[in-house]
Amino acid sequence: MYFLVRVLIHYCNMQEPARSTGRINGKSSSKVKKLKVKQQDELKLMVKGVTSIAQTDDNFICATLDWWPENKCDYNQCPWGKAGLLNLDLKNKILANAVKAFKPLRIRIGGSLQDQVYYKVGKYPKQCSNFEKKSDGLFGFGDGCLHMNRWDELNDLFNQTGAAITFSFNALLGRIPSDEHNTLWEGDWNQFNAKSLMKYTIEKGYKIDSYELGNELCGGGVAARIKPHQYGKDVKKLKRLVTHMYPNPADRPKILAPGGFYDEKWFQEFLLATGPGVVDGLTHHIYNLGAGVDPTLLDKLQNPFFLSQVAQTFKNVENDAKLFSPSSGPWVGEAGGAYNSGGKHTSHTFVNGFWYLDQLGMTSTFNHKVYCRQSLIGGNYGLLNTTSFMPNPDYYGALLWHKVMGKNVLSATHEGSPYIRTYAHCSKTSGITVLLINMDKSTTFDVSVVDDLNIHPVVYPKSVESIHQREEYHLTPKDGNIQSDVLLLNGTPLKLTSSLDIPEMNPKLVDPTFPISVAPQSIVFATLRGFQAPACA
């Protein structure tokens, strides 16, 4: 018995990055499976409280609403239901309560079909029609129409719930597809339909946080693309329009672009064309998990080596923003993880949090200001369930982040297993909050947070001593099933209240002299009030 355990531990140690799966020499052993080796590991987490390494916006969490109609289907399923901007039930109480809980939630209105949407206001360009399947249309659909009564209803909801809105404009209006080059669109952007919508919006007193131009038209594009010089010229035009329409700088919406996949050469040429000070948010999209039907999706979600691969993109966007337009900040303008509406059995479940919360942590360290999750509702990756509107585990993860993680990002490092990912921010209120994501299937990590008050070499790190109880939020899936839609907070399932409100999420209070115990396959936020961090003062 002792020998078997030794062998297993040895085996597990040899197994990185492919971990113990209960198989030895390729043969499955049921005896081994039943044994389930539990391990305990100590981890010292060094947090530097002296300086912050990056800063997010006050409202970092953002979610998208998309235009997809009910007949948007991928892989023999149609997971959007009635969750598109034109057919979503805006009177749903859970929806309103879910948005309200953030005070404010950023919402980005955009997506693939936005570059075929016309706004039925003023002198609109053609007959305004609803999206219909069209084999030669972009993404298989024809043009769509935003009627002003729908825009009023949407703004009613945004006003009631205090949401901060990004509206992303149709950037193809006025252009035509090039004859010679596949997918390239040429000509200047025609701003007049956007101007009419803006005028209407201002007259009605609807608040807009930011305007964006175009969706996934940069680099090689997805269904269509625009050259960087042309795009730069058009974003300057949008900036002039917004400056003209909103003469008071205090309530002038920010300008976001280009809202697509990162391509170094394209982004740099684009930023050279706009010049500094035009773009406020340099938006880019992330679908680093591959297709929604990828059979390895579940493995990728638990593989830290895979999840780290996208870090260079974040660093590049950060550098480009700094270099070419210092007043701008990088934003993830849309990120669904797995593309084509997400994974049917993963994207709405607990395990997706390994990707999502890790992304929030990682992009924060690369100075990203905002992270928009595709989607608030709709597809397999909604924060809310498409049909029942019930919050999925990532909804609660996002809300908890919003409540406890402040905008100043701290360095948090350790020399232990790569399967535990760690991040630290100044708390929203006082002290610091750490985020610990344990992707390991069998190891519990006992994490001691060490206060590194040195600027350069680590000499005498201080252990954290505090009179304050530590506030811990342990997130685990129901029945230990990482593909569950039900999230437990400190062992209790999170459920809507009887009035369909989002439940309170209270921490458990722990004696700070004990380490933070992070169970296998769990996610922990912990607030340390007594942590000395000059960067958070």
Residues within window 451-510 making contact with ligand NAG, judged by CB under 6 A: none
Q: Which of 114, 166, 283, 392 binds ligand NAG (CB under 6 A)?
A: 392
Nearer to ligand NAG, 351 or 533 (CB): 351
Nearer to ligand NAG, 16 or 156 (CB): 156
Question: From CA 509, how far away is CA 285, in angstroms rounded?
Answer: 38
For this structure, is 16 an active site residue? no
Cβ of residue 251: shortest distance to ligand NAG, in angstroms?
11
- From the list 27-35, 167-175, 305-313, 387-395, the region that binds ligand NAG by CB under 6 A is 387-395
Distance CA 537, CA 533 (A): 7
Structure tokens at 515: 């380490």
Both structure tokens of 320: 């480009």
Q: Which stretch binds ligand NAG (CB under 6 A): 51-59, 127-135, 386-394, 421-429?
A: 386-394
Closer to ligand NAG by Cβ: residue 325 or 386: 386
207 binds ligand NAG (CB under 6 A): yes
Does 386 contact ligand NAG by CB under 6 A?
yes
Q: Please list the residues that pair with 444 across neighbouring strands.
A: 40
Q: Length of the chain, please?
A: 537
Bridge-based pairing of strands 462-463 and 443-452 is antiparallel
In the complex, minimum distance from the CB of residue 169 to ligand NAG, in angstroms, rounded to a whole number: 21
Q: Which H helix or E strand runs over 359?
A: helix 352-365
388 is a site residue for ligand NAG (CB under 6 A): yes
- The neighbour count for residue 113, using CB atoms within 10 Å, is 27
Residues 6+ apart with CB under 8 A from 26: none
Q: Which of 216, 318, 471, 472 is catalytic?
A: 216
For ligand NAG, the binding residues in 362-381 under the rule CB under 6 A are 380
Q: Which residue is nearest to ligand NAG (CB)?
A: 348
Greatest Cα pair distance, the chain, in angstroms, is: 81
Binders of ligand NAG among residues 156 to 185 (CB under 6 A) are 159, 162
Site for ligand NAG in 292-351 (CB under 6 A): 348
Shortest distance (Å) from residue 204 CB to ligand NAG: 8
Measuring CA to CA, which residue among 401, 396, 392, 358 is closest to residue 484? 392
CB of 65 to ligand NAG, least distance (A): 15
Query: CB neighbours of 513 closer than 8 A, spacing ≥ 6?
Result: 465
Count of CB atoms situated within 10 Å of the CB of 180: 6
Question: How many CB atoms sit inside 10 A of residue 454's CB?
Answer: 14
Q: How far is the CB of 342 from ligand NAG (least distance, A)?
A: 8
Instruction: Please indicate whether residue 216 is annotated as part of the active site.
Output: yes
Which residues, in sequence order, are CB contacts of 241 under 8 Å at separation 6+?
191, 194, 195, 198
Q: Point out which residues bind ligand NAG (CB under 6 A).
A: 159, 162, 205, 207, 348, 380, 382, 385-388, 392
Catalytic residues: 216, 334
